[in-house]
Chain A
């Protein structure tokens, strides 16, 4: 599922804790690309470990969010929960809302049923941390009508 290129793989290896990728034997699944032979579980584990670092800072969270947004997938609810916990550690609520909005936008491009399911899966985390989903803030519809940047 994850088509990761070598450079970004190396980037992430230098940031995450080591033992993830080296010792896992890939069980069964074959990838289309010849670059990475990583299963879905390894991918999830790696990203979870990335966001669960106790001393992560806002810079790395944003880097992780931007990078994962570029990949051709919607993150698992566990990865989303790990990222929200990381946002809690750096005390940035707007970043969490922004992340949820990005996932909502991406999942709506796939199907209308994905986002309610994701919300339902991460609802325990949202309730525990007190993060508002975009719908709770009224951000599922446009609020302000500002001029587009392309028109300035």
Chain B
């Protein structure tokens, strides 16, 4: 649920957490129709006895699917993460489908035989994003600046509207035409701006504006 207004806020209520967990489970079994092959000696073959269940597998494999647990990770939990501080997560990113299993076999041989595409596929099977990708700038600052300025403008406009409504601003009567004319006569009589301003344009002998 990515909302337009609350872009950076993660929703962590229990219902949403459950929704996300369910989505994790659905997405974790990435190969729907192909048969799954494990990289470790555990091969999921239902003619053989089931693999020995340890506590991690019992708890985590419903969540992570058939992905291989390869390390300690962050806190010992078999979860995937892309972090700069901890380059190696505890599980691979993708489950071992037969295409990847073949590549793994090839990987056991000479690495010079692997082509660049093979190496890239292997990398993407173990990791979701490269370092460059998850450290790339996100550009959120533009969104932040935009909304800051918009909300600032909105607040100022709202304040102005409230002032007009609440204080019902009227103009004083000195803005009427006769009063303004009177004011101009007073200014000219008092010689305001005699050199370059108002009164310099008034001809005092004839009593009119200068031509």
Contact = CB atoms under 8 A, between A and B. Distances in A.
B195 to A, nearest CB: 66
Interface of B: 2, 7-8, 10, 20, 70-73, 82, 84-88, 90, 104, 107-108, 110-114, 116, 119-120, 122-123, 125-136, 138
Nearest to A147: B2
Given A93-B119, A104-B131, A105-B84, A66 B136 contact: no
B87 A66 contact: yes
A86 interface: no
B70 A91 contact: no
Question: What are the nearest 9 A-B pairs in CB distance?
Answer: A130-B111, A62-B71, A130-B112, A62-B88, A102-B87, A94-B126, A101-B131, A142-B133, A94-B123
A152 to B, nearest CB: 8
Most buried by A among B90, B110, B122, B132: B132
Interface in A24-73: 58-59, 61-63, 65-66, 69-70
A144 B127 contact: no
Q: What is the predominant secondary structure among interface residues of chain B facing chain A? A: loop
Nearest to B68: A58
Contact of B119 (A88, A97, A141, A146): A97
Contacts of A150: 8, 10
A136 B87 CA distance: 19
Given A92-B107, A93-B107, A93-B122, A62 B70 contact: yes
Interface size class of A (residues with CB under 8 A): 35 or more
Contacts of B133: 142-146
Contacts of A93: 107, 111, 114, 119, 122-123
A20 interface: no
Question: What DSSP secondary structure best describes chain A's contact surface?
Answer: helix
Nearest to A131: B111
Given A137-B120, A150-B10, A143 B110 contact: no
Given A66-B86, A101-B87, A95 B126 contact: yes
A81 to B, nearest CB: 15
B5 to A, nearest CB: 14
Given A101-B130, A139-B132, A144-B133, 12 more contacts: A93-B111, A93-B119, A93-B122, A95-B126, A98-B126, A98-B127, A99-B88, A101-B87, A102-B131, A105-B84, A137-B116, A140-B132
Contacts of B82: 149
Interface string A82-96: 000000100111110
A97 B111 CA distance: 12
A130 B108 CA distance: 12
Contact of A94 (B71, B116, B122): B122
Contacts of B125: 94
Contact of A129 (B73, B111, B122): B111
A108 to B, nearest CB: 10
A139 B131 contact: yes
